[in-house]
């Protein structure tokens, strides 16, 4: 970078001098680099100040030195450029009116956050994604897989836009890879939502069916006892009637649960749809050029201030000497 700046400033000099000055500069630059980074910075400040015909002890030298140090620091510590791909998903109501299926469970964006996302962002799923898309290739060379999983989790953001809409985003150094992973997460979310709701409905059917079978067995046993005891056994008759009522209630619940399971199987219940497909990011969140410019400007300003304060102190020390 220093050589590029020096070569650009050489255009201020006559053309016949440029090649010779550039050769001398390259040799001196190599010597300064071997002496350490501080000597290298001083060398760069001195050479650039000389090209600009600035006085060696002036405040502009400090400003240029500060700009070079700020530029170098920004280049060393600047975060990697990240491209974020974002998708939006919303929940839909059942296509069957609620008056026909009054017990149908609803589906909201909060339900997706609390029940579905913990599944698709589990460590096993993330490890599969990292290996399938060969993510964090350089990081995996020195980091264990567990750390790469945590790095993946930090790159994923899930936010609720409103009661029915959720936003999913993934950040990565490659914009197309960020879009592919975001699309994969979106697809997994939709598939997991369908699978979980169908599994929940079938579990409900199986549970209520087993409870209804037990209630039927109890009702039949009490009916046999009531018939054997005759008309004088009011308590057995009451228990038999209660057992029958309990069985009828469970049977109605089984029928409703089977209806819900059928709707889930046909995908006619509450579901999710893609509102916005994962975007292909065109610009990084933080541009390296902006970081370098900010570092150079900040270093230039601090160097200029330091040079001005140094000149004030030198002038203050020279005034008493002049009086003597």
Distance CA 270, CA 200 (A): 13
In this structure, which topology does domain 83-213+270-276 adopt according to CATH?
Bacterial polysaccharide co-polymerase-like (3.30.1890)
Query: CA–CA separation, 218 vs 276, rounded Å?
Result: 54
d(CA 247, CA 213): 8
Give the start-to-end residue ranges of the domains of the chain: 2-79+286-323, 83-213+270-276
The span from the CA of 63 to the CA of 55, in Å, is: 12
pLDDT digits (tens, 9 = 90+) for 16-43: 666 777 777 778 778 877 777 667 766 7
Distance, in Å, from the CA atom of 48 to the CA atom of 54, rounded to the nearest integer, reads 9
| Cβ neighbours around 132 below 10 Å, total | 11
**Phi/psi of residue 83, nearest 5 degrees:** -110, 130
**Which of the residues in the chain have pLDDT under 70?**
1-18, 37-38, 41-42, 44-80, 95-105, 231-232, 285-324
Tell me how crowded residue 222 is: count the other CB atoms within 10 A of its CB: 19
Cα 324 to Cα 315: distance, rounded to the nearest angstrom: 15
Q: In this predicted model, what pLDDT tens digit does every residue of 274-286 receive, in sequence order?
A: 888 888 887 776 6
What residues form DSSP beta bridges with 91?
272
d(CA 202, CA 249): 19
Residues whose CB is less than 8 angstroms from the CB of residue 130 and which lie 6 or more positions away in sequence, other chains included? 136, 140, 145, 148, 149, 152
CA angle, 39 as apex, 36 and 41 as ends, to 5°? 110
Total-model pTM:
0.60
CA–CA separation, 156 and 181 (whole Å): 10
pLDDT at 306: 66
């Amino acid at each position: 970078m220093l050589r590029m700046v020096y070569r650009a400033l050489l255009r201020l000099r006559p053309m016949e001098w440029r090649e010779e000055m550039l050769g001398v500069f390259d040799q001196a630059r190599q010597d300064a680099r071997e002496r350490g980074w501080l000597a290298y910075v001083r060398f760069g400040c001195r050479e650039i100040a000389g090209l600009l015909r600035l006085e060696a002890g002036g405040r502009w030298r400090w400003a240029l030195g500060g700009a070079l140090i700020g530029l170098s620091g920004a280049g060393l510590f600047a975060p990697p450029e990240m491209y974020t791909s974002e998708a939006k998903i919303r929940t839909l109501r059942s296509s069957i009116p609620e008056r026909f299926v009054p017990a149908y469970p609803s589906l909201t964006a909060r339900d997706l956050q609390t029940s579905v996302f913990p599944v698709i962002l589990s460590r096993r799923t993330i490890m599969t994604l990292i290996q399938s898309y060969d993510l964090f290739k350089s990081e995996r060379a020195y980091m264990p897989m567990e750390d790469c999983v945590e790095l993946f989790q930090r790159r994923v953001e899930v936010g609720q836009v409103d009661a029915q809409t959720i936003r999913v985003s993934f950040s990565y150094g490659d914009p197309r890879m960020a879009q592919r992973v975001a699309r994969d997460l979106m697809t997994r979310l939709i598939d997991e939502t369908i699978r979980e709701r169908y599994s929940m409905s079938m579990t409900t059917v199986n549970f209520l069916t087993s409870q209804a079978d037990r209630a039927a067995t109890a009702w039949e046993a009490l009916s046999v006892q009531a018939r054997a005891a005759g008309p004088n056994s009011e308590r057995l008759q009451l228990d038999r009637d209660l057992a029958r009522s309990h069985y009828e209630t469970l049977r109605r619940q089984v029928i409703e649960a089977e209806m819900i399971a059928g709707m889930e199987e046909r995908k006619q219940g509450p579901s999710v749809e893609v509102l916005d497909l994962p975007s292909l990011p065109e610009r990084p969140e933080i541009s390296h050029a902006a970081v370098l410019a900010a570092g150079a400007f900040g270093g230039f300003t601090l160097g200029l201030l330091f040079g001005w304060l140094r000149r004030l102190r030198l002038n203050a020390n020279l005034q008493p000497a002049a009086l003597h």
